[in-house]
Amino acid sequence: MSKTVTIRMDENAYSLLKIAAEGSHRPISNFIEWAAISYLRSDLYVDDSEMEEIAKYSTDLKKGLEQAKKRKYKIVK
For 16-61, write each residue's pLDDT tens digit. Answer: 999 999 999 999 999 999 999 988 888 777 778 888 888 888 888 8
Q: Contact 50/64 with Cβ under 8 angstroms?
A: no
pLDDT category of residue 14 using cuts at 50, 70 and 90: very high
User: Which fold does the domain 1-45 belong to in CATH?
Assistant: Arc Repressor Mutant (1.10.1220)
Between the CA atoms of 23, 13, 33 and 4, what dihedral angle is there, to the nearest 10 degrees? -130
Q: Say how far apart CA 39 and CA 28 lie, in whole Å.
A: 16
Q: Say if residues 21 and 31 touch (Cβ distance below 8 Å).
A: yes
For the segment 13-17, the average pLDDT, to the nearest whole number, is 96
Q: What residues does each domain of the chain span? A: 1-45, 47-77
C-alpha–C-alpha distance, residues 35 and 55, integer Å: 29
Model-level pTM greater than 0.85? no
Predicted local confidence at residue 34, as pLDDT: 94
**pLDDT in the model for residue 28:** 95
Is it the case that residue 64 has pLDDT exceeding 90? no
Helices (H), the chain: 11-23, 28-39, 48-69
pLDDT of residue 4: 93
